[in-house]
Structure 1
């Protein structure tokens, strides 16, 4: 039995593939600003048991986002984080006891609608970008993240409205997502998920993700503000369209 076999209940080849995918998805998010998390959860969904999908994805994304924060901490908007964190706590508490869920597909369509509005509609009202608006965004997206694991585009679309600098967008988004994904340890721990079985794979993917983040940030610093904004906007749009397709498919059964 090789070291790769010991990483998780999956086979050695699958473990190695997921570690390599973590490099790519982390680099993608660091360079473009969003999208790596959804690409990763799509890859994990092909090979991982459903019960492990969101908690393992959440822990890997925590490590990946923390890595980006470490490398870009000077650009984090601390005012946004101070307002976002209480909302994260409220959203996590709600997720830990929520029993009633919307019909499959509705959540995905709601997220997609918000993202498309943020990208192509008029800017959000100034009040929505204040402390109360940021707090509510933190609560809502944390709740959605625990239910469907797909809140990244919604958080990114919100951050996009309040940040003008590309490094500030990536850094602030990563700090928000670090806190949000970390709550999954609490939510799924309370639900009885055994993280220990997947710990080796999660640590390996976090380490390889840090390498990807470093590579992606090197590319980000070479991009102009205009080119980054265009890539960011279209990445969000494509992710939203995927959510529309996924939501519609689930509603249709």
Structure 2
């Protein structure tokens, strides 16, 4: 049924499973503000060819985050965007120019430790006051690692926004970052065309998850949301660190 829309090497069973994960990932991110991108990347890494993993994941995440922005547009904290966008342009270009990839394990461990530190202490002042640097670092890393939503979530968290504002602002930042990443991969010659059918289905499943998660966001208690957000940040960070160390 799905075979005509799938690229070579991706089975129908794998595609159906990833569509379910796309729904769940977007539901989690819409309801709690973080976690879906890393969850989706982890499952895609086992089923999608390595050369296509980061660019295809980037397009899917662009669609997923853009859907959240559309639904929560009025809650976006616009002062968080400008400097971050400037830095993201610089970081994306530098990442695309580097031939030798950074070791994934180093990136995983570094991001995991940094985010855990920001959960249990006050976010460093530069994270909020130097959005250009924050945008540049996270956009540089996303060219090699893919799921830097945790890093961007730490920046968003530093503004201490209400739950709707946090989710909306984080989605806007990630939409801009993934858009830049896709442009760079396109310039580098990645053939997105053969993946377009699969990408469209994944974005549609993700949007359905966003709508469902948006309903949950309305009734989640503010304190519960903060605890859930910090718990997710720590759990995913520990998963990144253990993966980088080769434990799991």
TM-score bracket for the superposition, by shorter chain length: over 0.9
Q: Find the counterpart in structure 2 of residue 160 from structure 1.
A: 157
Q: Which among 217, 228, 231 is matched to residue 228 of structure 2? A: 231
**Which whole-Å CA distance do the structure 1 matches of 2:176 and 2:237 have between them?**
23
Q: Find the counterpart in structure 1 of residue 169 from structure 2.
A: 172
Cα shift readout 1:45-96 (whole Å, capped 9, x = no counterpart): 1111000101110000000000000000101011111121111111111111
**Which whole-Å CA distance do the structure 1 matches of 2:186 and 2:141 have between them?**
17
Gaps (5+ residues) in structure 1? none
Distance 1:102 1:11, change over 3 A: closer
CA contact (8 A) 2:104 2:145 kept: no
CA contact (8 A) 1:91 1:141 kept: yes
Count of equivalent residues: 246
Cα shift readout 1:25-56 (whole Å, capped 9, x = no counterpart): 10011011100001101111111100010111
CA contact (8 A) 1:118 1:158 kept: no
Q: Find the counterpart in structure 2 of residue 129 from structure 1.
A: 128
CA contact (8 A) 2:123 2:154 kept: no
CA contact (8 A) 2:88 2:177 kept: yes
* TM-score normalized with structure 1 length: 0.93
* TM-score normalized with structure 2 length: 0.95
Gaps (5+ residues) in structure 2? none
Q: Find the counterpart in structure 1 of residue 68 from structure 2.
A: 68
**Which whole-Å CA distance do the structure 2 matches of 1:247 and 1:32 have between them?**
25
> Aligned ranges for residues 93-242 of structure 1 at < 5 Å?
93-125=93-125, 127-130=126-129, 133-242=130-239
Local SS of the residue matching 1:147: coil
